[in-house]
Amino acid sequence: MEHSLFSEGINLLMLGMGFVFVFLIFLVFATTFMSQAVMRFAPAPVPIAPKRSPSRPAAASDNNQLAAVIAAAIHHKNITAK
């Protein structure tokens, strides 16, 4: 009697694992199909333009500093080119 009880347990184990395996395979195919269907029939997403914050005018000191840096770069280029 013990042998048949053990074989019934193994039988039930294999049957349960088989059903779970088949269900998971079905789930993989269903998810793949749904993904392809959504990609095919869904409209393309509209790109959202980033909102710009109002820019403030550059301060005069920033322009003066920028002009000094540009002048120094030109001077350096002229010195090294000779």
Rounded (10°) CA dihedral 59, 61, 64, 65: -110
Which pair of tokens denotes residue 40? 């095919």
Mean pLDDT of the chain: 86
The string of pLDDT tens digits covering residues 36-52 is: 999 888 887 888 888 87
pLDDT computed for residue 57 by the predictor: 61
Break the chain into its structural domains and give their ranges.
1-44
Per-position DSSP letters for 36-78, written without gaps between them = HHHHHHSPPPPPPPPPPPPPPPPPHHHHHHHHHHHHHHHHHHH
pLDDT band with cut points at 50, 70 and 90 for residue 29: very high
Which pair of tokens denotes residue 65? 């500093």
Sign of the Cα torsion 34, 40, 41, 45 reads positive
